[in-house]
Structure 1
Amino acid sequence: MKPLTLAAALTLGTCLTAPCQAQTTTETAPMDLTFERVFASPGLDGPTPRKVKLSPDGRYLTLLRNRADDRERYDLWAYDRNAGEWAMLVDSEALGSGRDLSEDEKMQRERARVGSLKGIIDYQWTKDASGVLVPLDGDLYLARLGGETVQLTDTEESELNPALSNTGAYVSFVRDRRLWVGETGGEAQPVTPKEGEDVRWGEAEFVAQEEMARLTGYWWSPDDRRVAVERFDESMVGIVTRAAIGATGTKVFDQRYPVAGSENADVELYVMDPDGNNRIKVDLAAHQQPGIYTEGDPTDFYLARVDWAPDGSALYVQRQNREQTVLDMLKVDPATGESEILFTEQAAIEDYWINLGDDYKWLDDGSLIWWSERDGYGHLYRYDDLSSMPEEERVHTSTDGTLNVLLGSWRQLTRGPWVVSKLVGVDQDAGHLFYLATSEEDPLEQHIYSLDYTDPSAQSQRLTETGYTHSATMDGKGQTLVITRSNDDTPPHSYIADQQGQRLAWIEKNALDADHPYAPYLASHRPTQYGTIEAEDGTPLYWEMVTPEMEPGKRYPVYYYHYSGPGPQIVNRGWNGALRQAIVDKGYIWFALDNRGSNYRGVAFEQPLYRAMGGVEVRDQKAGAEYLKTLEFVDPDKIAIDGWSYGGYMTLKQLQADPGLYAAGVSGAPVTRWELYDTHYTERYMGTPQADGEAYTAASAIPEATKITDPLLIIHGMADDNVVFENATEVISAMQEANVPFEMMLYPGYTHRVSGEQISPHRYNTVFRFLESHGVTPPE
């Protein structure tokens, strides 16, 4: 009998939060926001649950919920569908040891962008739904639903990448550079050798974590009989001496950091039994195409993704060449390690790259749902593996008369001048897939769509309401949607929906009622305006703006926020939190613009960054500033720019390119010379310093640093392991040696994430004191 799913059992409109209240707004006297309140607890966005999951038996809905008195600390909560009650399953403060995390775990959290979170940041259900594996304070716990909690590890060193195997028979983790495995509830043992400081098993190498969004280095087979394990040797990778300068002392770390043009770690992949026996090496270098992979070095490629076939019969490995223009899908025999190329994905156009992602799924019938930009936009395709068919049935005559033996066939599932941003789930029984995408009409909203992938004539169906931007996840069988939505006036709220997108129950309604933390500031909440301007080639560039209550005839300063680099879409119709409102409350216009190179606009929109960082983005942002100067309510002499990371780099490049255009600039944690940044990210866009030296010279923020004449504030965390502190010291030194004035705020002990309940307001108060000191102030 088919088990009852939560989606089928919950009544339409049921509220899973307590108490369940109607969404209302309360008018109060206007109340200005301070930066201290923006970053204090409770968070002004309201409750922000994470990691919403359904237990394997469908009875429990679990999530991580942050505390009202500590917005960064998360506990594990469970909703019992039978009892209709919420309960805290694991109290992170009561259970945790308070032990400091190891340096490895701290850095891994930084690379996963969860470094600010405390308590429980992840968990995993057992296969029989009897309990949950919970990592906490560097150790592992097994929390049973009956109330019993078993501590599985108790060590000074953190257990990294903990996981339950697919059948739930084993618990595995990485400790002391080795993979450890034990029966669930039992004692784990190392199953890989210890080979010194530079060799690690079961972990992802630095660039995989930081740039490829691959945070693990081992993968259990579906039946738990075998496990694929990465081994990497980073002895050849250059060392960056990272001085983590703190308030009361300095710790020095010799960090293996592969800067652009230097050697990467040597990565290998093995398949072994759970006890480490019967280990075989996977042939990752097979069938490398001359001229595409580095000649003379068969190890110079990236291990991008690893997946098991649903029946465990094969291992699928995505191998990316160093230039990131070619990705081979290898099909590996796990018994022998032998591999063959199933298909090859190439960059959509010349002078472009391959954007890695996780929007693919191997199906039980051996076919693959695959995301690709091959037609100029990110879309979904279905690939059918024909390799098991007799060869004579796979012979195909190409247009030039050549006979080819087909390994597989392709069918495009979605198409159009818009972008699929996520494969949400697949219901294989019904032949339906669910995805998140922009629309041709509005790239600033994202919606959930469903599609019958078995019917070539089927049309996609939008499941979500316009006026919001959405994100979503699904259970493994593609039955139940977990949807989060927001807009500029509605903080994120989440609910469970059926396959038609109909809401079944609220997870977190987050109503802007009288009890909401943001309620005291609703009266002064200002609407967001949107528009477009044209780039130099006529491409429309989207902007958004929030203005204070303005008096006729007065002109206002602009806080011009920018990131500008490849990837993030800054301008969208989602909730943007209270920070921008606090800036507007101070009397500033908040403005942002997405330049060419940013995401969700297709290949042609991203491509101009190729071998040309610090060029087109500067000109597009300049177009935004020039547009602002045409507005009668903008003070043309008071446009200040502020950016972090790539945005910090852009502040430097913009001030260098157009002296006098901006009233002041804030450069946070900037890359100043791309030779100092890592291989995978930098070489994707810029090539190598050896082969593309002119592009690196043109992109550098160092040679023309002394041309900066506008007020400049540089901010950097002194323990930054991502954009290492040397980036800041180079530009600081260049300007000091030329007697060029600038200002500086450094944060001892902080990494690339300079944030916290006290540090964040300090940072923003520093920024606005800097602006005020240079006359970038609201009208009297």
Structure 2
Amino acid sequence: MTTRWITSALMAVPMLLSTPISASQTHHNQLSQAQVNQGIVDSDTQALLSAAGNKPLSIERMYASPALAGTSPRGLKLSPDGKRVTYLAGRKDNQHFYDLWQMDVASGKQSILLNADKLTIGELSDEEKARRERQRIYGQGIMEYFWSDDSKALLIPASGVLYYYSLSDNKVTLLPTGEGFATDARLSPKGHYVSFVRDQNLFVLSLSDMKVTALTTDGGGAIKNAMAEFVAQEEMGRMTGYWWSPDETAIAYTRIDESDVELVTRNEIYADGIKLTEQRYPYAGKNNVKVALGVIKLSSQKVTWVDLGKEQDIYLPRVKWLPDSKRLSYQWQSRDQQTLELRVVDIDKGDRAKNLVEERSEAWINLNDDLHFLKEQDSFIWASERDGFNHLYLFGLDGKIKTQLTSGHWVVDGVEFVDEKSGWIYFTGRKDTAVEQHLYRVPLAGGEVEGVSQRRGMHSVVFADNQAVYLDYFNSLVQPPQVSLHGDKGQHLAWVEQNKIDKYHPLNEYLGLWQVPEFGLIKAEDGQDLQYRLFKPTDFNKDKKYPVVVRVYGGPHAQLVVNSWSEHDYFTQYLLQQGFMVFQLDNRGSAHRGTQFEHVIYQHLGEAEVNDQKAGVDYLRTLPYVDGDNIALYGHSYGGYMALMGLFKAPDYFKAAISGAPVTDWALYDTHYTERYLGHPEQNAKGYEASSVFPYVKNYQSGLLMYHGMADDNVLFENSTKVYKALQDEGKLFQMIDYPGSKHSMRGEKVRTHLYRSLADFLERELK
């Protein structure tokens, strides 16, 4: 249940037509003065909306091909020499099948670089399927690729085999990796080797003689070499278990022992049978894996084990080499996640690790990827929330702070590029507003923060390896993703994919009915500001009263109230065309607002979050055009949990609720996520009980629909079946829809279409 949840799992819920909108109707996209004043729309946007078509959006069209959002490349990269932009693009007849494309930076010419049909695309292993689910990688064709350091070749993993593509002669070579499924493959830093994991061991292949060497041999059963354990992948954002030294002489890797982790048999229910899957799952309060960190020299294959300390019940969330290839850093995290230490060890000297930084919290410490060791000086950049907001600091290798680089009541999202020659650090953050992500830069020596990105919305960036040139993946509420190339000060150099909404764009015929929300603030019970956005119906009439669907996520590390394009908002647009209002509020505990805002939920989930959603309903009921007796709550994942908690704890606020794939008993979820917020069950038994939905089942009256994927390996299906049984024992009536073979994200056009039609029918009956 990581931040990635909100990207992949918050599902759109369309509505059946209650009052069909005729294509002959006049445009209804009337922008309020509040929207104009808030800067959400500009004159060009107003003109665009006014000129677009009025076709109603149907359930079946939402996720059909071609994609409504138009061309939206993924896997964006700049070649190390900065001469090519490469990306994965879906085909026009199948948006989920990807080929590798390129753009020549000098000419702007775009062409297909490698057709996926040249590769053998087969079935994935169970391990790789699970890994991709946790990476939120979905689709077919070419899904990953890696540049060589000299920009002359690419490594492309495909269904357990590896291809080496030479650009000079346009030749694709199948690498001899041996029998078995190769996963987590990559090129070494200088491009002389290919490394991969097979059968729970680490291998390297020399590209000079195509010889494969097994660097570890004891993997198998409960022992996994160079692999990230379940909670590292799902909760820490660490998808690998090995790291090349910059000079290619050594590889650091983890050796995990799962022997003490509870082995459970998980049922994955499919339409044609039940698959029994054995999985070592670390339930909250139970045993984790034992992790060791080793460094193996390629020349001698000798392993040096790093002394991680006497305490074995710890986490190892990050590992990173220093530029000299002699010293290795790792981040040591306590089981309670209230202590995080950055340690550095000299591998050749065999000294004990030196602790450079120690972070402490009375609640929890958020992990990040913003550690950057400088090459030109004995210093490093470190991100910390020690002043209540995530900011950047410059440390010396003696562990002393040289300067705080950013400060203020706003957060840094991440370091994107460090230009040591020019003396700039480029980072994304929320300095201007919490509802948008922008690119900024600050002098490496300290000084004023400068804005780099210009347009209102969300900017995700990818820099070249060795120069301050970047790709900007931009989107906003009214602009599907665009990709452009920019210079060091944000100057526009070229379009990679303009994705302009013209008369040929798939969205154009629908955009005339697209609605833009109004943003606002209300107060939480502790006085903190809560941000919301309110979408009004297409045919809004201030003299009428409208039912409201409150879309919620509500969990940590997530945010809904943003100026961002999202395919999950197709649901919202559909609702608006059927005469519903849609309201979204980021309650306390959600992201990008600092630790005071987040830590309110510590040791008791579902209390402050529900109170804030109730405050949102209180606000809605002050609006003369809101039908305060017809308000529904809808969410998926943590949002599904919130839907149950809201309906069970505040039935006088919500007439109905839709709960998708909810966590219902936190004892059923994993250690790293659950204990971060609730602590250990032995120390906080009352908090676990109060945070569960079951003490409140007796309050349920009516109006509940639950759904769950029956092969969900993230939030196990058992979470929903326990609620089914509890409600049945209480004699309570409710509805449920379970999907054979579906995972947590409910992928697939047929599954989604059926789901949305079912939920639409439910909301029509409950609220109208």
Normalised to the residue count of structure 2, the TM-score between the two structures is: 0.91
Q: Distance in 2 between matches of 1:274 and 1:218?
A: 14
Which amino acid in structure 2 is aligned with residue 368 of structure 1?
F
Contact kept, 8 Å, 1:181 with 1:274, in 2: the verdict is: no
Query: What is the SS of the residue equivalent to 2:749?
Result: coil
Q: Aligned equivalents of 2:327 and 2:180: distance in 1?
A: 34
What is the CA distance between 1:141 and its match in structure 2?
0.7
Q: Distance in 1 between matches of 2:743 and 2:52?
A: 40
Once the two structures are overlaid, the 10-residue window that deviates more, 210-219 or 119-128, is 119-128
Which residue does the alignment assign to 1:574? 564
Q: State the Cα distance separating 1:239 from its structure 2 match.
A: 2.1
Paired position in structure 2 for 1:272: 296
Alignment of structure 1 residues 593-742 onto 2, 5 Å:
593-742=585-734
Deviation string 1:309-337 (CA, Å, 9 cap, x unpaired) is 11112000111011111111111122255
Q: In the alignment, residue 186 of structure 2 is paired with which amino acid?
A: A
CA drift at 1:410: 3.7
The answer to whether the aligner puts 1:534 opposite 2:526 as a matched pair is: no
The amino acid across from 2:659 in the alignment is S
Residue of structure 2 in register with 1:127 after alignment:
149
* Contact residue 91 and residue 97 of structure 2 kept, 8 A: yes
Match of 2:189 in 1: 166
1:235 to 2:259 alignment: yes
Equivalent position of 1:16 in the other structure: none
Aligned partner letter, 2:270: G
What's the CA shift for 1:536? Answer: 1.0
d(CA) in 2 for partners of 1:664, 1:63: 43
Greater Cα shift, 95-104 or 200-209: 95-104
1:370 corresponds to which of 374, 378, 382: 382
2:123 corresponds to: 100
Contact 2:425 2:443 in 1 (8 A): yes
| Residue of structure 2 equivalent to 1:43 | 67
Aligned to 2:244: 220
Q: Say whether the 8 Å CA contact 2:454–2:490 is kept in structure 1.
A: no
Distance 1:683 1:410, change over 3 A: farther
2:688 partner SS:
helix
**RMSD of equivalent CA atoms:** 1.7
**1 CA distance for matches of 2:106 and 2:643?**
55
- What is residue 444 of structure 2 aligned with on the other side? 453
Any conservation in 2 of the 1:342–1:408 contact (CA below 8 Å)? no
For the structure 1 residues 527 and 83, does the alpha-carbon distance in structure 2 shift closer, same or farther, using more than 3 Å as the test?
closer
Conserved 8 A contact 2:316-2:330 = yes
How far does the alpha carbon of each residue in 1:627-679 deviate from its partner, in whole angstroms, 9 at most, with x for none? Answer: 11221211112211111111111111111111132121011111111111000
Match of 2:229 in 1: 205
Aligned-pair distance for 1:728? 1.0
Structure 2 unpaired stretches of 5+: 1-46
Paired position in structure 1 for 2:30: none
Q: Which amino acid aligns with 2:364?
A: W
Residue of structure 2 aligned with 1:360, choices 365, 371, 387: 371
Q: Matched residue of 2:428: which SS?
A: strand
Please report how far the alpha carbon of residue 62 of structure 1 lies from its aligned counterpart in structure 2 after TM superposition.
Answer: 0.9
For 1:444, the equivalent position in structure 2 comes to 435
> Quick check: 201-210 or 734-743, which moved more?
734-743
For residues 731-770 of structure 1, the aligned pairs below 5 Å read: 731-770=723-762
- Using the aligned pairs only, state the percent identity: 40
Distance 2:58 2:702 in 1: 27
Deviations 1:110-160 (A, max 9, x none): 11112x322222211112222110112232111121321011157774321
Q: Secondary structure at the match of 1:180?
A: strand
Give how far 1:438 is off.
Answer: 0.7
Equivalents in 1 of 2:461, 2:104: separation in Å?
22
**Residues 451-491 of structure 1 deviation map (CA, whole Å, 9 limit, x = unaligned):** 1111x4x2111112252232212122341121122221112
- Report how far residue 83 of structure 1 moved: 5.9
Q: In the alignment, residue 301 of structure 1 is paired with which amino acid?
A: I
For residues 772 and 276 of structure 1, what CA distance do their matches in structure 2 show? 69
User: Which amino acid letter does the alignment assign opposite residue 481 of structure 2?
Assistant: P
How many residue pairs match? The answer is 716
Match of 1:398 in 2: none
Name the structure 2 match of 1:331. 344
State the match for 2:5 in structure 1: none
Shift of 1:190: 2.2
CA contact (8 A) 1:445 1:469 kept: yes
Instruction: State the AA in 1 paired with 2:360.
Output: A
Contact 1:141–1:153 (CA<8 Å) still a contact in 2? no
Counterparts of 1:162 and 1:474 in 2: how far apart (Å)? Answer: 22
Deviation, structure 1 residue 763: 1.3
Whole-Å separation in 1 of the counterparts to 2:300 and 2:156: 25
Contact 2:249–2:299 (Cα < 8 Å) also in 1: no
2:204 pairs with 1:190 = no
Which residue of the partner structure matches residue 556 of structure 1? Answer: 546
Which residue number in structure 1 is paired with residue 199 of structure 2? 176
Q: Does 1:314 align with 2:327?
A: yes
SS of the residue corresponding to residue 514 of structure 1 reads coil
Alpha-carbon distance in structure 2 between the residues aligned to 1:77 and 1:276:
40
Give deviations 1:699-756, integer Å, cap 9, x for gaps. 0112222321131111111111111111111111111122111110101111111121
Task: Please tell me whether residue 251 in structure 1 is matched to residue 275 in structure 2.
Answer: yes
Q: After alignment, is 569-578 or 267-276 more displaced? A: 267-276
Matched with 2:56 is 32
| Pairwise CA distance, 1:163 | 0.6
TM-superposed CA distance for 1:547, in Å, is 1.4
Map 1:268-417 → 2, pairs under 5 A: 268-274=292-298, 277-285=301-309, 298-335=311-348, 337-348=350-361, 350=362, 352-364=363-375, 365-386=377-398, 407-417=399-409
Distance 1:640 1:275, change over 3 A: farther
Residues 80 and 466 in structure 2, CA contact (< 8 A), matched pair in contact too: no
Q: Name stretches of at least 5 consecutive residues in structure 1 with no aligned partner.
A: 1-22, 287-297, 387-406
Change (3 A) 1:695 1:518: same
Residue matched to 1:396 = none
Does 1:52 find its partner at 2:52? no
SS in 2 for 1:72: strand
Alignment partner of 1:721: what SS?
A: coil
Task: Give the Å deviation of 1:51.
Answer: 2.1
| Shift, 1:35, TM fit | 1.9
8 Å CA contact 1:486, 1:493 repeated in 2: yes
Which structure has the higher relative contact order (CA within 8 Å, separation 6+)?
A: 2
- How many angstroms apart in 1 are the aligned matches of 2:708 and 2:605? 21
Q: CA deviation at 1:187?
A: 4.3
Q: Conserved in 2, the CA contact under 8 Å of 1:282 and 1:338?
A: no
Q: Distance in 1 between matches of 2:262 and 2:716?
A: 14
Report what 1:521 is aligned to: 510
Q: Distance in 1 between matches of 2:441 and 2:674?
A: 36
Which amino acid in the other structure matches residue 560 of structure 2? I
For 1:448, the aligned partner's letter is L
Task: Identify if the C-alpha distance between structure 1 residues 675 and 99 changes in structure 2 by more than 3 Å, giving closer, same or farther.
Answer: same
TM-score, with length taken from structure 1: 0.89
* Residues in 1 aligned to 2:143 and 2:699: alpha-carbon distance in whole angstroms: 45
Does the CA contact (< 8 Å) of 1:26 and 1:513 recur in 2?
no
- Matched-pair contact (CA < 8 Å) for 1:271–1:280: yes
Larger displacement relative to structure 2 (23-32 or 536-545): 23-32
The residue that corresponds to 2:28 in the other structure is: none
Following the alignment from structure 1 to structure 2, what is the Cα–Cα distance between the partners of residues 90 and 482?
A: 21
Conserved 8 A contact 2:80-2:465: no
Contact 1:330 1:339 in 2 (8 A): no
Check conservation: 1:132, 1:142, Cα contact below 8 A. Answer: yes
Cα distance 1:739–1:470, how it changes in 2: closer, same or farther (>3 A)?
same
Q: CA deviation at 1:346?
A: 2.2
Asked if the contact 1:264–1:300 (Cα under 8 Å) also holds between the matched residues in 2, the reply is yes
